[in-house]
Structure 1
Amino acid sequence: MNENKVIAFFDFDGTITNRDIFWDFTFFRLKNGLSVLKVVKALPDFALYLAKVLNNEQAKQRIFSKLFKDESLDSFNNSVEKYHQTHIYKRVKKDALDRIKWHKNSMHQVCIVSANFDLILHKFAQANQIRLISTQIQVENNLITGKFATRNCYGEEKVSRIKSIFPDINSYTKIFAYGDSKGDLQMLDLATEKFYCFFKK
């Protein structure tokens, strides 16, 4: 085996960041021209989420669809660009970013594995030259359909996606995994080096 064959998997929301970035991005959009009608349509699902009738993942799926269905991909990507420039690094934990840099400087592969959406996270992953595995949003004719192109990348699905992209994962000498919730436990079980709620800053 190659002794340098090392990979690190990072959950995103709550691990790299200090909050759920989907909600943070949504509130950013509310302040930046998102249709009031779409917001009104999503309010019942917000209420069900706050009342804990819907869990976080169920609420995300419903609210994303109601807020962003039929928005052009170009418009959505422009809003992500603005959010990335003005907000994302206020939410990123310095310790987590330092750890990512340490892995990269050590010539380890680094990958974000997140239930959050590819369209929201791709800019951060691209800017930091990190591979991204996430829930993918369906786009047709340059419009967001409001549906998912993949299964929600949560729990066991994280492991399934990792194994499909890294079929030789068992040949790695070290597998680091960082997470902060029950949706990360299966990914942590895959690792040889597990870090749960590791980053504080």
Structure 2
Amino acid sequence: MNLALFDFDGTITQREMFAAFMQFAAPRRRLMLGMPLFAPLVAGYKLGMVSGSTIRAQSIRFGFRGVPATHVRMMGQRFAEEMLPAALRPQALKRIQWHRDQGDKIVVVSGALDVYLEHWCSQHGLDVICSRLEIVDGRLTGRYRGLQCVGTEKSRRVRETCELERFPLVYAYGDTPEDLDMLSMAHHKYYRWQALA
């Protein structure tokens, strides 16, 4: 049995899903107020001056602070069932099935949010390591529980969760610089679906 590590956004899906989930799940009033407030951050991100991690952290703080966790979990389940199927990359699903046919352990390792990604992975029988939202007294705090699962945090959590020495081969699939540290752990690495030496 080998180990296959898959990023989610842009690797299993055809596009990033974080903004789509925020639009789907955040209270409408906050979305309307947030659009002009976040415009400079979004522009900075597109110019490479603001990191994706910063945008995501600020979006969660603004969009979800104080919102009941049960509501966001319910919206996450709906998002996984109603929105994600149309965004999936057929090539990724075929590759996941290939690993399944080989008897490999398959883990989705993503900065995506637990409230929808855990549901999607459960539906597909996949293990998951992802970013988690902090809950206190039944409400979201607007912060992550721990660090965002990006960059070096991805490989740290994989090492913490999977005994790498148990696997003869490790495969890893990603599509952004946030995945490169995870890819460096693998014997077979694929960046934007191209094999790396």
TM (normalized to structure 2)? 0.90
Q: Which residue of 2 aligns with 1:89?
A: 85
Q: Which residue of 2 aligns with 1:104?
A: 100
Q: 2:185 aligns with which of 187, 190, 199?
A: 190
Aligned length: 191
Flag the 1:43–1:125 CA change in 2: closer, same or farther, 3 A: farther
Q: Which residue of 2 aligns with 1:36?
A: 29
Instruction: Find out whether 1:17 has 2:13 as its counterpart.
Output: yes
Q: Which sections of structure 2, spanning at least 5 residues, go unmatched? A: none
Q: Which residue of 2 aligns with 1:164?
A: 160
Q: Which residue of 2 aligns with 1:181?
A: 176
Q: Which residue of 2 aligns with 1:47?
A: 40
Q: Which sections of structure 1, spanning at least 5 residues, go unmatched? A: none
Q: Is the 8 A contact 1:42 1:66 kept in 2?
A: no
Q: Which residue of 2 aligns with 1:123?
A: 119
2:30 & 2:53 partners in 1: Cα distance? 23
Query: Cα deviations across residues 124-173 of structure 1 (Å, max 9, x unaligned)?
Result: 1111111111111111122111111111111111111100111x203310
Q: Is the 8 A contact 1:6 1:109 kept in 2?
A: yes
- 2:75 counterpart SS class: helix
Instruction: Find out whether 1:60 has 2:61 as its counterpart.
Output: no
Deviates more, 1:36-45 or 1:105-114: 36-45
1:24 & 1:38 partners in 2: Cα distance? 12
Query: Cα deviations across residues 25-64 of structure 1 (Å, max 9, x unaligned)?
Result: 122336xxx2314541464234312233432210011011
Could you list the structure 1 runs, at least 4 aligned residues long, displaced by more than 3 angstroms after superposition: none
Deviates more, 1:73-82 or 1:15-24: 73-82
Q: Is the 8 A contact 2:77 2:115 kept in 1?
A: no
**Structure 1 residue 194, shift from structure 2 partner:** 0.8
Query: Cα deviations across residues 39-95 of structure 1 (Å, max 9, x unaligned)?
Result: 414642343122334322100110111111111111111112222222101111011
Q: 2:137 aligns with which of 138, 141, 152?
A: 141
- 1:161 counterpart SS class: helix
- 1:77 counterpart SS class: helix
TM (normalized to structure 1)? 0.88
